[in-house]
C-alpha cells in the first residue's frame, strides 16, 4: 500500500542522510525525506501542512543547504565519530524502544469539537503562536545579518577596548 511504501521510504531516507559520505548527498536525502513526509501528511489528511512542508522542506531548506555548502567549500563528511559507534547504536535503539513503549498503540479519544477552518484556527485560536513566529523570524533575520555582515569582527568590544587602552 501507499502508506507502507511511504513509511519505509521515510525511514530509509533518514538513515541514508546520516550515513552518506558526501555532504551534497546528505542534503539530497534530506530533500527526499521532506517530500515523502509531505506525501505522508497528505495521506493522513493534512493537506495544508503537506504543501507547506513540501515547499519549505524540500525546496527552501535544500537550496539553503546547497548554497551554504558551496560557499564554505563542499567536502567529504567522513571519518569515525569520537564516540564509539556501538554506544551511538545502543542509544539510538534505546530511544526507539522507549518511544515504542510510550506511544504504541496510538490511542486518543475522538474529540468532536467545533470544526473551524484552518485559517480561522490559525489566526484566532493560535494568535499567540503567530505573534511569536513573527518575533522569531525577526530575530532570525537580525542574527543572520549580524553573522554574515561585512565588517563583523570576532569580538568588537574587546577590540575597541584594546584600541583605546
Q: By CB under 8 A, what part of segment 42-81 binds other proteins?
A: 44-46, 48-49, 52-53, 56-57, 60-61, 64-65, 68-69, 71-73, 75, 77-81
The H or E element spanning position 138 is: helix 127-147
Q: Measured from the CB of residue 86, what is the shortest distance to other proteins in angstroms?
A: 10
Residue 82 contacts other proteins per CB under 8 A = yes
# binding residues, other proteins (CB under 8 A) = 98
Cβ neighbours of 61 (radius 10 Å): 14
Quick count: other Cβ atoms within 10 Å of Cβ 85? 9
Give CA–CA dist 137/14, Å, rounded: 27
Map 35-50 to HEC letters: HHHHHHHHHCCCHHHH
Footprint of other proteins on residues 130-159 (CB under 8 A)? Answer: 130, 132-133, 136-137, 140, 143-144, 147-148, 152, 154, 157
Instruction: Determine which residue in the list 32, 98, 151, 159 makes contact with other proteins, applying CB under 8 A.
Output: 98
Amino acid at each position: 500500500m501507499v502508506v507502507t511504501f511511504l513509511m519505509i521510504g521515510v525511514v530509509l531516507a533518514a538513515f541514508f542522510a546520516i550515513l552518506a559520505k558526501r555532504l551534497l548527498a546528505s542534503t539530497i536525502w534530506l530533500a527526499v525525506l521532506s517530500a515523502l513526509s509531505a506525501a505522508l501528511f497528505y495521506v493522513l489528511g493534512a493537506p495544508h501542512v503537506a504543501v507547506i512542508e513540501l515547499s519549505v522542506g524540500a525546496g527552501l531548506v535544500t537550496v539553503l543547504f546547497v548554497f551554504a555548502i558551496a560557499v564554505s567549500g563542499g567536502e567529504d563528511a567522513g571519518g569515525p565519530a569520537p564516540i564509539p559507534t556501538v554506544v551511538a547504536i545502543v542509544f539510538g535503539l534505546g530511544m526507539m524502544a522507549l518511544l515504542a513503549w510510550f506511544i504504541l498503540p496510538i490511542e486518543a479519544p475522538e474529540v468532536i469539537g467545533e470544526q473551524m477552518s484552518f485559517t480561522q484556527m490559525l489566526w484566532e485560536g493560535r494568535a499567540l503562536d503567530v505573534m511569536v513566529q513573527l518575533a522569531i523570524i525577526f530575530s532570525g533575520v537580525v542574527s543572520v545579518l549580524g553573522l554574515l555582515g561585512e565588517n563583523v569582527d570576532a569580538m568588537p568590544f574587546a577590540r575597541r577596548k584594546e584600541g583605546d587602552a
